[in-house]
Structure formats: structure tokens, C-alpha cells
Amino acid sequence: MNNRDVDEVLEALWMCSEKKDHHLATLRGFCDIPVDEAHLATMEHDGLITIRGEMLFLTDPGRDRAASVIRRHRLAERLLVDILNVPIQQIEAGACEFEHILATQVVDSICTLLGHPLECPHGAPIPRGDCCAESKAVVDSLVVPLTRLEVGASARIAFVSTSRHPRMHKLMSFGLTPGVTVKVHQRSPAYVVSCGQAELALEEDVAADIHVWKSE
């Protein structure tokens, strides 16, 4: 079993953990490669997983490696959607390739460039990296929160980062989606922005969830 296949299984086990379903059948449903008992036994011998009958669990080393794979995959999805403008329906294959070739330093650079996003384009959480834990902010970062814009400034939305799905849906219903250009008309007591022909009032914490390209 090569390293790429091991990563595929660990990635699938991470997603099983997110669903709180550790059954072997669930793993096979998530995994893109065939999974047999011999492969799993090897991974258990290598200290990556624990097998309890039909239940599979990540060990601490396995979880660390799985988190790295998931982080690369989901940041690659953000890169493809937010920077390369690839339709979300077409990003899976590209993200799968990126997750196996991106070095940690490159992943952290992408994360910083994107403003340390919390979620992938599908709304799944992105594991935090060292650059996030250090709250690393690079002056040259191309993506900033909407709250960093001055009155009169315009910018194109890169992504919306919020774990609150009702808020996400509300912003989308207003037309505040990636690729749309917004202009700031007011910063206090509430943010007032224009989007197309509409003007919208946003609370500061909502405006902070909207990340935009700093320069057009």
C-alpha cells in the first residue's frame, strides 16, 4: 500500500469521524480506492489506526496525518474556486491531485493568501495550521476582510467565511457571493455596501465574514 493510498484511507476516516460514524462500511463509502482488511491491518501495525471489529479509529499520529491531508485538500478547493474561478462542481479531481503534492510551506502560504479560511467551498471545516495558530498576517496578502476597506473603496468578494449557515444563506440571497464587486459607502454605525443596484446594511461581525480581493 503506497503513501498516496494510505492518505486516501486516512482522509476517508477523517470524514467518517466528522460524521461520528466509524463503521468499515462507511469508510468504504467515503474512500475512492478499494479497502481490504490487509491494508487496514498494515495501517494498524504502522500505528495510524485502531481496529475494533468493524469499527475503525484514527490514532493520534493517524489523526495528525489525516488532518494534514484534509487541510491540503480543502485549501486546494478554496484556491481553485476563489483564485482560479473553477466552478465548484469541477474542483474535486484537481483538489485530490493538489492534496498529494503540496508541501507544508506552500499550503501555509496559500492559507495566508486566502486569509486563513475556516471552511472549504462546501462548508466543511478546514483544519488549522501553524500559520493560523500564530495569527500570521502578511502585509502583502491579497485577501482581506471587508472591514479593512475604507469608505468609497470597491473590491471583489473572494469568499465568505462563517460557520453560521443561516448567515451564509442570507448573504447569498443578497447577492454577496464570490466574484461579486461591492463598494463601501459607510462604516459606522453599520456597514453600508452596494452590490449591483442594491444597497445593504451589515453589522460589523457580518461584514468581517466577507473577504475581498484587496486590489482590483
Q: Is residue 138 part of a domain?
A: no
Q: What is the pLDDT, as a whole number, of residue 165?
A: 66
Query: Minimum mean pLDDT among 92-96, 99-103, 123-127: which range?
Result: 99-103
- Using only the alpha carbons of the chain, give its radius of gyration: 20
pLDDT tens digits, 76-88: 999 888 877 788 8
Domain boundary among 19, 41, 58: 58
In the predicted model, is pLDDT for residue 137 greater than 80? no
47 shares its domain with 70: no
Determine the structural domain holding residue 114 and report its residue range.
64-133
pLDDT tens digits, 27-41: 999 998 999 899 999
**CATH no. for residue 152?**
2.30.30.90
3-state secondary structure the chain: CCHHHHHHHHHHHHHHHHCCCCEHHHHHHHCCCCCCHHHHHHHHHCCCEEEECCEEEECHHHHHHHHHHHHHHHHHHHHHHHHCCCCHHHCHHHHHHHHHHCCHHHHHHHHHHCCCCCECCCCCECCCCHHHHCCCCCCCCCEEEHHHCCCCCEEEEEEECCCCHHHHHHHHHCCCCCCCEEEEEECCCCEEEEECCEEEEECHHHHHCEEEECCC
**CATH no. for residue 104?**
1.10.10.10
pLDDT tens digits, 1-37: 788 899 999 999 999 999 999 999 999 999 989 998 9
Q: What is the pLDDT, as a whole number, of residue 215?
A: 62
Largest CA distance in the chain: 62
